[in-house]
Amino acid sequence: MRIPSGKVDQYIYFVAVDSVDLKTKKTGLTGFTVARSRQGVQTFYTTPTIVELDSVNMPGCYRLLVDEDTTIASTSDSEEQLLYINVAGMAPVIRVIELFRRDTTTGRTQIVDANGRVDVSAIAGTAQTARDIGASVLLSSGTGTGQVSLTAGVVAANATQIAGAAVNTATAQLGVNVISAAGTAWNSGSITSNTFAAGALTAAKFAANALDAVWSTATRVLTAGTNIVLAKGTGVTGFNDLDGPGVRTAVGMASANLDTQLAGISTKTANLPPDPADASDIVAAFGTVNANVGTVNGAVNAIKAKTDNIPAAPAAVGDIPTANANADALLDRAAGVEPGMTVRQGFRLWSASLLGKAIGMTTSIATFRDTNDTKDRIIATVDASGNRSSVTLDPS
């Protein structure tokens, strides 16, 4: 049996006989196992499909669908596969099939259809599609379907569409003597504003210096706003004379006319001393002001001297020491009892000597414990009369 490589719809047939007498046909068998081996690799079918053909008219005849492991290696033209079919009560059936490649060259498959046509998947190693026959294409000149009219390598074509839109006349050819536009013959009328769509002509549509031929550089100086000489009220429209309010607005004046504002200035200067060159009146006035400023400065300095002693942020409670803070400051004040001893340390030693446990009072070493009985506060070397010759203190 030969099966093309990669096909999974082929069947092989076998006859099932009794495993004891090796001749009685077995019908109604199920639960087959199929072992397969190819190229030295042995394994089992995962889901073997075996069907009994006809238990009445063809007893003992079965078929196996060969649908697993049917593709041979790319470097092989054919490979042999062994199938070992077995089930309880049946003599094992051994079949050998050949998996082959339908090709003309190793590793390439040539498929021929019923009409003798060859399906080419690649040319010179390049994959092909139905519309792709390579990088260099030779065209056949003609007017039939799929052909183009060629003369000396030039395509002669009548354009019926441009950018997807139909050309208006059948006689118009792209790039050659276009005789009309939108159905209207050229030179049939003047260009009007209706000829151009709104916004059709912009600066970007013209190449650099394109308009120099119709508007010279000398004339174009007008656009710079210079060299324009016009009589008042004539010439270019859109220029208006400024009225009184317009002039005042332009020069940044108030609502009144200039003469009114000058009169106001005159009224204000009338209150100045009669002889501005004599500054005695002004000096006297400034003397009074300086005296008053000195008085204010003195009062402010007096207030400042008091406020300098106020905390930086009196509104913040954290700037004002609490009772506990004051107590801690006193208890932990350096040399509060004597050099090297704070009040807190002194209280600890006094409490130990007066209130704590006392050990070894009749010996040469007397020890006084802290009130919590956690450490030795005082260790003293004493004689028989209780006199202390040395003392070790632990106020921590």
pLDDT digits (tens, 9 = 90+) for 329-388: 889 999 888 999 999 999 999 999 999 999 998 899 999 999 999 999 999 999 988 899
Q: What are the residues whose beta carbons fall under 8 Å from the beta carbon of 209, sequence distance 6 or more? A: none
Task: For residue 378, tell me if it sits in a domain.
Answer: yes
- Say yes or no: 95 and 13 in one domain: yes
Task: For residue 277, tell me if it sits in a domain.
Answer: yes
What is the residue type of 240?
N
Task: For residue 357, tell me if it sits in a domain.
Answer: yes
C-alpha span between 165 and 163 (Å, rounded): 6
What is the residue type of 395?
P
Structural domain boundaries, residue 303: 273-310
Task: For residue 284, tell me if it sits in a domain.
Answer: yes
Task: For residue 202, tell me if it sits in a domain.
Answer: no
- Say yes or no: 296 and 334 in one domain: no
Bridge partners of 341?
A: 338
Residue 84 has pLDDT above 70, yes or no: yes
- Say yes or no: 300 and 364 in one domain: no
pLDDT of residue 213: 62
Residue 57 has pLDDT above 60, yes or no: yes
Q: What are the residues whose beta carbons fall under 8 Å from the beta carbon of 233, sequence distance 6 or more? A: 241
The CATH number linked to 21 is: 2.60.40
Task: For residue 19, tell me if it sits in a domain.
Answer: yes
- Say yes or no: 95 and 9 in one domain: yes
Residue 118 has pLDDT above 80, yes or no: no
- Say yes or no: 261 and 295 in one domain: no
* Residue 171 binned pLDDT confidence (cut-offs 50, 70, 90): low
- Say yes or no: 297 and 378 in one domain: no
pLDDT of residue 110: 64
β 122-123/41-44 pair status: unpaired
Task: For residue 20, tell me if it sits in a domain.
Answer: yes
Last residue of one domain, picked from the residues 65, 100, 135 = 100
Highest mean pLDDT among 92-101, 145-154, 163-172, 245-254: 92-101
Q: What DSSP character marks residue 221?
A: G
pLDDT of residue 2: 94
- Say yes or no: 26 and 84 in one domain: yes
Among 49, 68, 67, 50, which Cα is nearest to 9's? Answer: 67
DSSP reduced 3-state for 289: helix
pLDDT of residue 306: 83
pTM value > 0.85: no
In whole numbers, what is the pLDDT of the chain averaged over residues? 79
Task: For residue 293, tell me if it sits in a domain.
Answer: yes
pLDDT of residue 172: 47
DSSP letters along 125-154, please?
Answer: TEE--TT---SS-PPPB-SSTT-B-EETTE
Among 281, 279, 252, 254, which Cα is nearest to 265's? Answer: 254
Q: How many distinct structural domains can be found in the chain?
A: 4
pLDDT of residue 45: 97
- Say yes or no: 355 and 288 in one domain: no
DSSP letters along 157-203, please?
Answer: ---SEETTEE-S-TT-BTTB---EETTEETTSS---GGGS-TT---G
From residue 71, give the alpha-carbon distance in Å to each of 19, 23, 120, 344: 33, 35, 20, 97
Q: What are the residues whose beta carbons fall under 8 Å from the beta carbon of 210, sequence distance 6 or more? A: none
- Say yes or no: 262 and 333 in one domain: no
Percentage of the chain exceeding pLDDT 90: 38
Token duo for residue 196: 């151009």
Lowest mean pLDDT among 118-127, 146-155, 323-332: 118-127
Kind and range of the H or E element at 281?
helix 280-307
Last residue of one domain, picked from the residues 75, 100, 125 = 100
Q: Sort 41 into a burial class: Cβ within 10 Å, 0-12 / 13-18 / 19+.
A: exposed
- Say yes or no: 70 and 7 in one domain: yes
